[in-house]
Structure 1
Amino acid sequence: MAPVLKAGEVVQAERGEGRWQVERKIGEGQFSGVYAVLDLRTQQQRAIKIEKRADVRTVRQEYRVLKRLAAAGCKQAVRVHEGGEMAHKGGRFFMVMDLLGTNLSTVRRGVWGGAVELTDAKVIGATMLKALEGAHAAGYIHRDVKPANFVMNPPDAPSPAYACWTLVDFGLARQYVDDASRGHLAPRAEAAFRGSTTYASVNCHNHEDQSRRDDLWGWFYCLAELIEGTLPWRGDREAAQAPTNTHDSQHAVLLPSPDGSQAAGCGSGQQAQQAQQQAQQQQQVQQQGGGGGLSKEAVLQRKLECLEQPQLLVTSIPCPQYVFALRQGALSEAAATACRQLRGLEPAEAAGVVCWLLDELASGVDHLPAAAAFCEEIAAFAAGTAKRCHDRATRQR
């Protein structure tokens, strides 16, 4: 399909002045195209998103969502400046946005070469989570959380870890609260699949109506991919470097054997050409957030396997490995029971149980890293306990 806009063209709404001069095309989706434009009034660069077809109103809907997010004070959703129909383009709707930096998917591969240092991953993951929190507070779920939909802001940040990662592409966003009552909308009995296969939650695969939890599952898969460099259900894991430790080798049971035609040093020019075509197709799938060529059913199966065996998802961090080993019997039954009941205990009781668990771990586990890892896991319970203590103290005042 030919580009909707051409370089040098000035975009003008049905009512308004011609203000936005097209410079170049910078992206494209199934229903819309994105172009860099120059604001002729301020000489600042912006981005314009326009529908490819006038009968598919995805950009109009996204514009409405972004305007509501801005009104609600959501700081990490892309800011819009103008929207309207172009009469000379068949009534296609367009919107003008801030021109931001590179998306996280491209940065992960280009800057870090795949996997991200854990320290940087924590910082980036936190700012991504803040962006989702803002959208949720405004009453919307994104429904397509993936690295390609987080972009650097400002574009010239000295390091990706210092950027404010801003959420874009709200074309699939849906309101989950009622405007009048501010209560949650009732979930639909069945919902069509929405999102990207690689980062969609198991609930989404099962055609359950999405909620905030599903955005958070997408965020979690993004974070795991940042740390690991890939995901167990991605086909690009086959092209990754050979494992350098025993943790990485566990992924092999989840994947088919690599295709010989993709190996280095192909024998013939035809094989090399086939390998290049496959690599290009793989790259396209990755940019779209797909499952690396695997079927949705295969991706779902591997996600379910990782729910049962979390060490298959995150292999480079010892914590999940040790915690998994502890769950397999390194704790006594009494300690395991205490862990399961910890969340529902009163603050004072919970604090006592935590102290007892530490003694249990110190005396019963050979590997101190395992004890430290398990302490990290129960730290979430301790944080909840601390909050309940604070709330109770506040009420007693």
Structure 2
Amino acid sequence: MESEMLAGRYRLVAQVGAGATGRVWQAVDTLLQRAVAIKIVDLTGAADPALAERFRREGIAIAGLSNDAIVKVWDTGTDDRRGWLVMELLSGPNTNTLVKEHGPLSYEVVMPLLAAVADGLQAAHDAGITHRDVKPANIVMDAPQAVDGTRPDLIAHPELGRPVLVDFGIAHVVDEAGKQLTRPATAIGTAAYMSPEQARGLEVDSASDVYSLACVAYHLLLGRPPFLADSSIAVAHAQAFDTPVPLAELSPDAPHALDTLIARMLAKDPTLRPTAREVAKELRAIARTHGLLPASLWTQRRHSLWARPPRPRRSPPDLRSRPVSWDRRK
């Protein structure tokens, strides 16, 4: 069967992910002859005819962001049925899949990962953009391809990858189309990382992303979010009104300063939470204090621990390409 062409330029090769906000395709940009990822969102259920134009503007705003922890957006467009974003193709996996296959991660891996994500969030917040859906499935790992065409196995060696935030702002647009919150298969996953103000249906801002990042920290370190329940409604209620078990009680080896920082990030009152910039700064300070990483690695702003890992003289036996997967259901 002949591959579909999108916008007369992008040849859709294979679907590599699906979630509440749409489907992700691996594609080829036939103009620039490069592999790309394309997020396609169904807009047919939108009651507001101006939604397609807002989707386009959202894509333009995201494309203006420049940070190693934010997915690069190269193009955007809409037609009478769909909206799409053309992005860099990441090697994967997302951190939800990473924890599922690898198990909870070490502090040495998680703290720089969270700091990098916080840097990305701050870059977006400085531009007036709130992510609104920070969760493990929306943090995708990536690693550069070696000269022999292989990539590191990030399941076995997550420290060799860089975390990249995807789906910036798209959740809000799809909410307006009346789709995201009506899908029970995905709602409970989103609720597990939802801020109290989101759970109560209130307006959200950058502080909501900080709360969600703290929920992600629980997941990466413990293999579970702060609140567990049998339904998305019960989880959302807990987010709005309950106090989570402190990180240090669930993980006694957690540094006290990290436990305190996570607790501040999980404050029910958004005005009491630190900014993403403060989170990144404190994570790096805690890591230095506890000897989790050499201080020099934390002073690099644009070239992080993962951006250009030293190339080994001989490829380790577990270096091989992994299939791309952004699937939210994994």
Match of 2:251 in 1: 315
* Comparing 144-153 and 27-36, the one that deviates more: 27-36
Distance 2:59 2:106 in 1: 32
User: What is the aligned counterpart of 2:3 among 5, 8, 13?
Assistant: 8
TM-score w.r.t. structure 2 length? 0.60
Distance 2:84 2:61 in 1: 17
CA shift for structure 1 position 63: 4.3
Q: Percent identity?
A: 25
Match of 2:193 in 1: 199
Distance 2:172 2:136 in 1: 16
Find out whether 1:104 has 2:41 as its counterpart: no
- Closer, same or farther in 2 for the Cα pair 1:131/1:303, shift >3 Å? same
User: What is the aligned counterpart of 2:115 among 99, 111, 126?
Assistant: 126
> SS where residue 306 of structure 1 aligns?
coil
**Is the contact made by 1:131 and 1:167 (CA closer than 8 Å) also made in structure 2?**
yes
**Is the contact made by 1:50 and 1:95 (CA closer than 8 Å) also made in structure 2?**
yes
Distance 1:103 1:137 in 2: 25
Find out whether 1:296 has 2:233 as its counterpart: yes
- Closer, same or farther in 2 for the Cα pair 1:107/1:61, shift >3 Å? farther
**Is the contact made by 1:306 and 1:312 (CA closer than 8 Å) also made in structure 2?**
no
> SS where residue 216 of structure 2 aligns?
helix
User: What is the aligned counterpart of 2:19 among 26, 29, 54?
Assistant: 29
**Is the contact made by 1:31 and 1:53 (CA closer than 8 Å) also made in structure 2?**
no
> Mind listing any 5+ residue stretches in structure 1 that lack a counterpart?
1-5, 13-17, 175-191, 236-292, 325-375, 380-397
Written as runs of structure 1 = structure 2, the 5 A alignment for 1:232-251 is 232-234=226-228
Distance 2:17 2:71 in 1: 16
TM-score w.r.t. structure 1 length? 0.51
CA shift for structure 1 position 313: 6.5
Distance 1:60 1:78 in 2: 21
**Is the contact made by 2:104 and 2:220 (CA closer than 8 Å) also made in structure 1?**
yes
User: What is the aligned counterpart of 1:141 among 130, 133, 147?
Assistant: 130
> SS where residue 144 of structure 1 aligns?
coil
What is the one-letter code of the residue matched to 2:211?
W
**Is the contact made by 2:99 and 2:105 (CA closer than 8 Å) also made in structure 1?**
yes
> SS where residue 24 of structure 1 aligns?
strand
Find out whether 1:67 has 2:60 as its counterpart: yes
> SS where residue 243 of structure 2 aligns?
helix
What is the one-letter code of the residue matched to 1:315?
S
Deviations 1:90-113 (A, max 9, x none): 443323211112211111222x2x
Distance 2:18 2:6 in 1: 18
Find out whether 1:116 has 2:105 as its counterpart: yes
Written as runs of structure 1 = structure 2, the 5 A alignment for 1:355-370 is none
> SS where residue 165 of structure 1 aligns?
strand
Greater fraction of residues in helix: 1
User: What is the aligned counterpart of 1:51 among 41, 58, 78?
Assistant: 41
**Is the contact made by 1:224 and 1:313 (CA closer than 8 Å) also made in structure 2?**
no
**Is the contact made by 1:103 and 1:151 (CA closer than 8 Å) also made in structure 2?**
yes
Find out whether 1:77 has 2:70 as its counterpart: yes
**Is the contact made by 1:20 and 1:37 (CA closer than 8 Å) also made in structure 2?**
yes
Equivalenced residue count is 235
Match of 1:172 in 2: 171
> SS where residue 230 of structure 1 aligns?
coil
Distance 2:83 2:228 in 1: 35
- Which structure has the larger Rg over C-alpha atoms? 1
- Closer, same or farther in 2 for the Cα pair 1:146/1:122, shift >3 Å? same
What is the one-letter code of the residue matched to 1:24?
A
What is the one-letter code of the residue matched to 2:6?
V
Structure ranking higher on relative contact order (CA contacts 8 Å, 6+ apart): 2
